């Protein structure tokens, strides 16, 4: 990653140097100084991994457009650690990955691990408009995203009961291309199918709150 990439990240994310700096662990003043350095010079090695992680996080949050020129570059630069990056971004534990099987229980368990994290919940809570926009893809999409959004906003359910729904919605916000196919269970499943499994889980477990689609 070079100094021109830093400028691109600031531009594409819409973050100020201070906002981006706080996420990377450096001052906004330093980022402003970097903008005056030769564009093709590389940023200090110490900061490269932090920049890569920030790009993943911003992309997952919807704060960085998926067509940003940075995405492909970061994926190539971190190719050897793409698996670990995806694991960290999604929040799977290694114990889960060792025991996961291609069944509904494993999907719900894995998503609940993601949804149990406060940062992931906050990302979902900030993305209401984006989440509900998937309803434009069709009635089935609308039913699934609406049902899961009703779960996370329900007054009847305990926070623990909402983890799987939070996880499914965070997974929806995570660009599918960032999830390597070799991640057990999830790598080969698409968003629509995963949403359907989790909706079915809630409909069966809490039938008085969530009715099946006619």
**169-212, pLDDT tens digit by residue?**
988 887 644 444 444 444 435 677 778 888 888 988 888 877 76
More confident residue, 163 or 25: 163
Q: What is the mean pLDDT of residues 24-49?
A: 88
What's the pLDDT at 175?
61
Q: What is the CA radius of gyration of the chain?
A: 19
Q: Give the domain range for residue 37.
A: 3-77
- Encode pLDDT of 69-91 as tens digits: 777 677 666 544 444 444 455 55
Q: Which residue, of 77, 106, 130, is where some domain finishes?
A: 77
Residues 200 and 95 in one domain: yes
Q: What is the mean pLDDT of residues 152-162?
A: 93
| pTM for the full predicted model | 0.53
Residues 187 and 100 in one domain: yes
Task: Report d(CA 160, CA 141) in Å as an integer.
Answer: 25
Is 50 a member of any domain? yes
What's the pLDDT at 160?
93
What's the pLDDT at 125?
93
Task: Report d(CA 132, CA 134) in Å as an integer.
Answer: 5
Task: Report d(CA 179, CA 188) in Å as an integer.
Answer: 9
Q: What is the mean pLDDT of residues 4-30?
A: 90
Is 146 a member of any domain? yes
Q: Which residue has tokens 């069966």?
A: 204
Mean pLDDT over each residue of the chain, to the nearest integer? 78
Residues 123 and 169 in one domain: yes
What's the pLDDT at 205?
87
Residues 127 and 160 in one domain: yes
Is 11 a member of any domain? yes
100 and 185 in contact (C-beta within 8 Å)?
yes
Tell me the C-alpha to C-alpha distance, in Å, between residue 59 and each of 55, 123, 185. 6, 11, 22
**SS3 readout for the chain:** CEHHHHHHHHHHHCCCHHHHHHHHCCCHHHHHHHCCCCCCCECCHHHHHHHHHHHHHHHHHCCCCCCCHHHHHHHHHCHHHHHHHHHHHHCCCHHHHHHCCCCHHHHHHHHHHHHCCHHHHHHHHCCHHHHHHHHHHCHHHHHHHHHHHHHHCCCCCCHHHHHHHHHHHHHHHCCHHHCCCCCCCHHHCCHHHHHHHHHHHHHHHCCCCCCCCC
Residues 109 and 162 in one domain: yes
Residues 125 and 172 in one domain: yes
Q: How many domains does the chain have?
A: 2
58 and 13 in contact (C-beta within 8 Å)?
yes
């Amino acid at each position: 990653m070079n100094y021109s990439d830093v400028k691109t990240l600031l531009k594409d994310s819409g973050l100020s140097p201070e906002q981006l700096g706080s996420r990377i662990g450096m001052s906004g003043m330093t980022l402003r100084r970097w903008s005056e350095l030769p564009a093709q010079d590389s940023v200090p090695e110490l900061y490269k991994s932090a920049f890569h992680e920030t790009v993943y996080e911003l992309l997952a949050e919807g704060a960085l457009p998926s067509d940003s020129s940075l995405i492909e570059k970061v994926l190539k630069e971190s190719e050897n650690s793409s698996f670990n990056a995806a694991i960290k971004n999604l929040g799977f534990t290694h114990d889960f990955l060792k025991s996961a099987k291609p069944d509904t229980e494993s999907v719900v368990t894995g998503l609940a691990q993601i949804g149990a994290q406060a940062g992931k919940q906050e990302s979902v809570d900030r993305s209401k408009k984006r989440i509900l926009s998937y309803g434009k893809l069709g009635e089935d999409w609308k039913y699934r995203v609406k049902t899961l959004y009703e779960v996370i906003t329900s007054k009847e359910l305990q926070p623990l009961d909402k983890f799987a729904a939070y996880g499914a919605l965070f997974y929806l916000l995570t660009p599918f291309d960032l999830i390597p196919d070799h991640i057990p269970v999830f790598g080969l499943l698409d968003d629509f199918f995963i949403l359907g499994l989790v909706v079915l889980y809630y409909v069966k477990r809490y039938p008085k709150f969530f009715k099946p689609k006619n």
